[in-house]
């Protein structure tokens, strides 16, 4: 393997998925509004984007807003929907400077029109980049994604375009929100919680999992580097036997 930057693990995941958990608790501990926690968490997004680039990670998928999050108080939801366009406008230059394509997965039609406008504009403006990808899971749920995939297959069967007996795992995966993306090699969840919370249920089948104790606003480049060191020490078997 070729030499990499100093102090960077040589075994690097191609695709890292992150559950950014703990913004609300971070704010509560400091007597702040939950939205302040989300604003501080946005700075962790910037830091982790930099860390992923420096470590050679090609794809970063962030669980930004779940389908369940719509049930939160309206003020918090509205604040989050306004935070995303502000973040994109502030940091869009980083995507261009680093050749990063922005993508989004989820039930994007659920997003407010002004949020979709900025999101789709930046996605279109970065579509040609192939070096790196930043994928935002918005109005996303793993069960919703699987349900939508089943519905798509059912429509093809009903139309006579697909034989049910011909459906294989690859066929099903082709109906997911971003079927061209490779499955994550590594999933990180912050805040110490040890569950995947309806995130990429199909795609995480063989991912290595890492649960960081830090709340998301405290998860920065140093903590990301530690996660990469842990990954470098893992041995991925994919159901097989480890080689000696």
The catalytic residue positions are 21, 69
**Alpha carbons 204 and 79: distance in angstroms, whole number:** 30
Closest CA to 65 of 199, 187, 168: 199
Angle, vertex CA 208, rays to CA 203 and CA 209, nearest 5: 95
- Convert 63-91 to b/e letters by CB count within 10 Å (16 or more is b): bbbbbebeeeeeebeebbbebbbebbeeb
Torsion of Cα atoms, 13 then 218 then 91 then 48, to 10°: -10
């Amino acid at each position: 393997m070729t030499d990499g930057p100093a102090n960077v693990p040589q075994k690097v995941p191609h695709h890292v998925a992150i559950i950014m958990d703990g913004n609300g608790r971070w704010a509560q501990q400091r007597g702040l509004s939950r939205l302040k926690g989300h604003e501080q968490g946005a700075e962790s997004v910037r830091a982790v984007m930099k860390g992923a680039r420096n470590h050679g990670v090609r794809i970063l998928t962030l669980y930004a807003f779940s389908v369940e999050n719509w049930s939160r108080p309206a003020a918090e939801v509205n604040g989050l929907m306004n935070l995303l366009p502000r973040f994109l406008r502030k940091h869009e230059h980083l995507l261009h400077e680093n050749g990063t394509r922005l993508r989004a997965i989820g039930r994007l039609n659920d997003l407010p029109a002004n949020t979709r406008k900025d999101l789709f504009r930046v996605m279109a403006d970065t579509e040609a980049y192939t070096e790196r990808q930043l994928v935002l899971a918005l109005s996303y749920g793993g069960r919703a994604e699987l349900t939508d995939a089943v519905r798509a297959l059912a429509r093809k069967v009903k139309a006579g375009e697909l034989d049910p007996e011909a459906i294989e795992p690859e066929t099903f995966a082709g109906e997911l929100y971003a079927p061209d993306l490779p499955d994550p090699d590594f999933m990180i969840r912050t805040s110490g919680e040890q569950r995947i919370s309806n995130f990429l249920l199909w795609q995480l089948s063989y991912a290595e999992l890492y649960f960081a104790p830090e709340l998301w606003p405290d998860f920065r480049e140093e903590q990301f580097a530690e996660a990469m060191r842990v990954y470098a020490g893992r041995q991925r078997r994919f159901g097989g036997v480890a080689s000696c």
